[in-house]
């Protein structure tokens, strides 16, 4: 089975390496070709555009930045749907809109293929360790075919329903992450103001009801002044806006998510959009 992977950023490159380590033949494409150089040196095969990589692959993964990038990758003049996708499985791991996931699923079916929306959670650490949470929407038949591949890159893998269900689940995930990032940041601000040792505080809280993934993975980075992106602020803002748009359609008011979007947007406007989400602490600590 030949796998195509479009989008070799922070997480995509790590996923490709895990697939190659599992002895899959992997074709790669990225808008900035230099970001695939190391992967090609390690055995991946470069293709010039999504159309060509799709023609050469049985299963095609996409992991790009924004819904507009997903649209172009699938529907552009040299996009995935510009070639024959009969019998192929197309898997979008980008956090995108449920509406676009449904559109891609419909188009794939009309052209004789299958599509899954399979956004992930776990950040750069999960991608490197092969422990991602993969939330999937699409047919059970396509999911069953993809599952052995997912098991090489993820730990918690589920099918949530038909096309779009994976993206809705990811929105629920991002809503929860927004809350834990806010809580962790305010906890550190409070503990520092109280004169406490922050490492000791995190060790204590990690053994009780306040334990959470954000504190465990991002807390130590904050204390080291490490704001390299495991997940970009600019992409988290995109996710929160999708979540709020979907909530509006369902007539839901999400005040905490609204606040998180505003705080992150303020940081982006200060030039921090390419830092990791843990840079939220800079709202308080300049």
| Residues labelled catalytic | 170
Name the CA dihedral angle for 78, 80, 83, 89, rounded to a multiple of 10 degrees.
Answer: 170
CA distance 266 to 263: 5
- Sign (positive or negative) of CA dihedral 219, 127, 49, 135: negative
Tell me the backbone φ, ψ of residue 164, rounded to 5 degrees. 100, -25
Give the pair of three-digit tokens for residue 101: 């996931």
- Distance from C-alpha of 40 to C-alpha of 52, rounded to nearest angstrom: 16
Q: Sort strands 59-62 and 2-6 into parallel, antiparallel or unpaired.
A: parallel
CB burial of residue 72 (10 Å; 0-12, 13-18, 19+) = middle
Separation between Cα atoms, residue 221 and residue 213, nearest integer Å: 13
Q: Angle at Cα 240 formed by Cα 238 and Cα 243, nearest 5°?
A: 110
Rounded Cα distance between 226 and 220, Å, is 8
Angle value at C-alpha 67, between 65 and 70, nearest 5 degrees: 75
Per-position b or e across 186-222, b if 16+ CB within 10 A of its CB: ebbeebeeeeeeeeebbeebeeeeeebbbbebbbebb
What is the spatial distance between Cα 58 and Cα 71, in angstroms, rounded to a whole number?
20
The CA distance from 136 to 119, in Å, is 7
């Amino acid at each position: 089975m030949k796998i195509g992977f479009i989008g070799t950023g922070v997480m995509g490159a790590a996923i490709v390496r895990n697939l190659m380590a599992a002895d899959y033949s992997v074709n790669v494409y990225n808008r900035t070709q230099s970001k695939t150089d190391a992967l090609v040196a390690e055995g991946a095969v470069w293709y010039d555009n999504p159309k060509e990589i799709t023609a050469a692959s049985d299963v095609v993964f996409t992991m790009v930045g924004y819904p507009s990038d997903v649209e172009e990758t699938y529907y552009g003049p040299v996009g995935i749907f510009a070639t024959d996708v009969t019998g192929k499985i197309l898997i979008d791991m980008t956090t995108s809109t449920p509406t676009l996931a449904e559109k891609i699923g419909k188009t794939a079916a009309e052209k004789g293929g299958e599509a899954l929306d399979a956004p992930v959670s776990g950040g750069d650490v999960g991608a490197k360790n092969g422990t991602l949470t993969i939330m999937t929407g699409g047919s059970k038949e396509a999911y069953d075919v993809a599952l052995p591949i997912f098991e090489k890159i993820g730990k918690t893998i589920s099918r949530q329903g038909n096309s779009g269900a994976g993206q809705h689940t990811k929105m629920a995930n991002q809503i929860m992450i927004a809350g834990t990032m806010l809580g962790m940041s305010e906890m550190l601000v409070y503990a520092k103001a109280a004169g406490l040792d922050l490492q000791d505080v995190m060790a204590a809280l990690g053994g009780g009801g306040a334990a959470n993934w954000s504190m465990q993975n991002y807390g130590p980075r904050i204390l080291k002044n490490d704001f390299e992106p495991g997940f970009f602020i600019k992409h988290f803002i995109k996710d929160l806006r999708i979540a709020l748009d979907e909530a509006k359609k369902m007539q839901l008011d999400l005040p905490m998510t609204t606040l998180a979007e505003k705080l992150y947007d303020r940081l982006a406007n200060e030039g921090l959009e390419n830092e990791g989400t843990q840079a939220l602490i800079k709202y308080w600590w300049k």
